[in-house]
Chains A and B, each alone.
Chain A
Amino acid sequence: MTDVTLAIALPLLGAFLLPVTARRGLQWLGALLGPTVLALSALVLFANASVYEAPYAIALGGFAPPLGITFYVDPLALLFALTVPLVTLLLWPGDDGDAGIRRQSLTLLLAAALTGLALSGDLFNLYVFYELAAVASYGLAAGSGSSPGFVAAFRYLLISALGSVFGLMGIALIYFQTGTLNLAHLATLSEQLANPQGLAAFAMLVIGFGVKAELFPVNGWVPEVYGAASKRVAALLAGLASKLAVLAIVRILLLVFPHEEARQLLLVLGILGVITGELAAYQARDITRMLGWSSVGQLGVVFIAFSLPGKAGLIAGVTVAMHHLVVKSALFLLADRWGGAIARLKGAASSSRLGAAMFVLFSLSLLGLPPLPGFWSKFLVLGGLADAGSTLQLAAMAIILAGTVLEGAYLMRVITTLYKSPDARAMPQRQHPGNLFASTVFAAVLLAAAAMVNPLWQGLNSMADSGVDTKGYIETVLKTAGWRP
């Protein structure tokens, strides 16, 4: 079995080697370095696929838990960790001089931090990886070098840093009450946190980690950053980074706060996210900000799904999150082809048939047309909500359905504009003909998932089995022997 920490160490090493290679005039090495490192880290994670039988934990540096930091590798963590190098590879930024090197270096840093976020089993370690990912994404947001990019990045930094202050206070509150920050150890003490202080700590952690996950009160940065940054960066942040932040929150929820109140908090925040996100997306007049707001709405659905108790919630949440990862990244890439105001997309379909066809495919999946995976993800969420059946959950059902109607309205508006007869004056000013490759891969993944619903369901089921197995988590981690001299 290959050491899973390599999946974090390799991109981190690559991130710091890249600028050196550029300065030494080894551009060819630099161009190879990033993709190679990401492919290697994907291979390392593939080599750990045996966790489907037996999850395992690693004590970092040889310090035994609960004092030392642990990494926990189970199917859930592996699935999310594996998406990081694969999606980053697809969204790899082009090599255009000095700015390109900086962007590649930051992308590798982001990949390392996000992988760490998936694997870490220690609250403070999660915070550190989260901050690392945040700093890398500030750099990426400002990296376009445009004036709006700097203002957007500054606002993003301010909101995210404020979230981090809340997160740190939440960590302090938890340490006050329990004296530990190891998630497995905290899971054994979760009764001590079933009180108002515990709930306050959870709320603070959710606000802290929720900034990247585009959670309701702390998502004001979303349209500005996605509008100002390059669309690859937007796809990386909306598709990938938000999912790993969600995973961190879900781990904390499952292990440390298995209380009804904590779930209700997520449910309410998710509902508010759906309402605000979909309404703002309906109002938006350019395609990037429309997609940004609609991603806020969909992450609201993700939070609603994860607020469902037990296995059903985990399966529904993972399905919605993964579907959103594929679809929203691809939509951002397609939007990059056209860019700009929706009104100016008139007739864009005639100049790029494949691009427009894929836009239709992804939109339909997002809406939930039956054979496509989007249908199954929405079906699982709505079914889970109907089964749980409290008033709030039924309200959430109604709001998700209403949100879908709004989604249909604004996505169809774009599609009808795309297929209108071309208007020479209204054509978008820039077109990138060459970058359909990544979106085609995403489309292939989507269609493959639609064809293989049964095996995927089996895989998700066994993943959720080990994901909700708190007892197994505690035993695996606390039995991990440290290195003894």
Chain B
Amino acid sequence: MTTSIGFIFFIGAIGLGAIGIAGIVLSNHLFRLVLALAIAEAGANLLLILAGYRWDAVAPIVSDPAVVQTMVDPVPQAMVLTAIVIGVGVQALALTLVIRIRQRYGTLDMQEARQRMQDDLDAAAGITPSRSREQPAGGRPLPAPTAAVEAGGPHD
């Protein structure tokens, strides 16, 4: 029975990791990206905890040296504590950056923020943007607009 519980936890840890990674790859909203990161970190932490966990053991606290009991491995627990602290710090930093991006660019959309960043970098370097939404690169496959359309005639 205990093995099946362990198995469920393993699936859970790997599942959390997979959901988080999929979230980072697929989402486009800055805040969702941060949330996906938090989920992925939770998965990694759970995996690390499971690495040293025993179902028939007590918490690794020695209150009476005379009593010897089976304990879970304390090393992964200490490591996960460190990893959680690092993770919280990084997520807080990520959120401050999200706030800054929102203040500067007025958007929480990753694609749009990236596009504006590229434009700003190009402008700072003194390059005319290689492509933009208004002027896509390459030739135009469509025929030039006819005189009637340009005059404002009906075209639908």
Contacts and interface: CB of A to CB of B under 8 A. Distances in A.
Interface stretch (B61-69, B125-133, B139-147, B148-156): B125-133
B125 A227 contact: yes
A135 B88 CA distance: 12
A147 B52 contact: no
A142 interface: yes
B104 A142 contact: no
Contact of B125 (A142, A164, A224, A286): A286
Q: Is the interface of B mostly helix, strand, loop or mixed?
A: helix
Interface residues on A, range: 35 or more
A154 B30 contact: yes
Contact of B47 (A148, A153, A172): A172
B124 interface: yes
Contact of B117 (A131, A147, A429): A147
Given A158-B24, A165-B41, A151 B113 contact: yes
A155 B111 CA distance: 11
B33 interface: yes
Contact of A154 (B40, B73, B98): B98
A135 B89 contact: yes
B59 interface: no
Nearest to B115: A151
B17 A165 contact: yes
Query: Which of the four size classes fits the interface of chain B?
Result: 35 or more
A175 interface: yes
A467 interface: no
A429 B127 CA distance: 13
Given A142-B97, A161-B94, A176-B51, A147 B104 contact: yes
A107 interface: no
Interface stretch (A13-21, A337-345, A356-364, A475-483): A337-345
Contacts of B41: 161, 164-165, 168
A135 B93 contact: yes
Interface in A169-195: 169, 171-172, 175-176, 179, 181
Contacts of B30: 154
A376 interface: no
B126 A429 contact: yes
A168 B51 CA distance: 12
A339 B125 CA distance: 7
Nearest to B95: A154
Contacts of B71: none
B105 A151 contact: yes
Contacts of B40: 162, 165
A148 B90 contact: no
Interface in B67-100: 73, 75-76, 79, 82-83, 86, 89-90, 93-94, 97-98, 100
Contact of A286 (B82, B89, B93, B127): B127
A343 B20 CA distance: 43
Given A128-B82, A158-B33, A175 B51 contact: yes
Nearest to A174: B51
A341 B44 contact: no
20 contacts: A128-B86, A138-B93, A147-B101, A147-B104, A148-B116, A154-B30, A154-B97, A158-B33, A161-B41, A162-B24, A162-B37, A162-B40, A164-B41, A165-B41, A169-B43, A172-B51, A227-B125, A286-B126, A286-B127, A341-B125
Interface of A: 67, 124, 128, 131, 134-135, 138-139, 142, 146-148, 150-155, 157-158, 161-162, 164-165, 168-169, 171-172, 175-176, 179, 181, 224, 227-228, 285-286, 288-289, 339-341, 343-344, 428-429
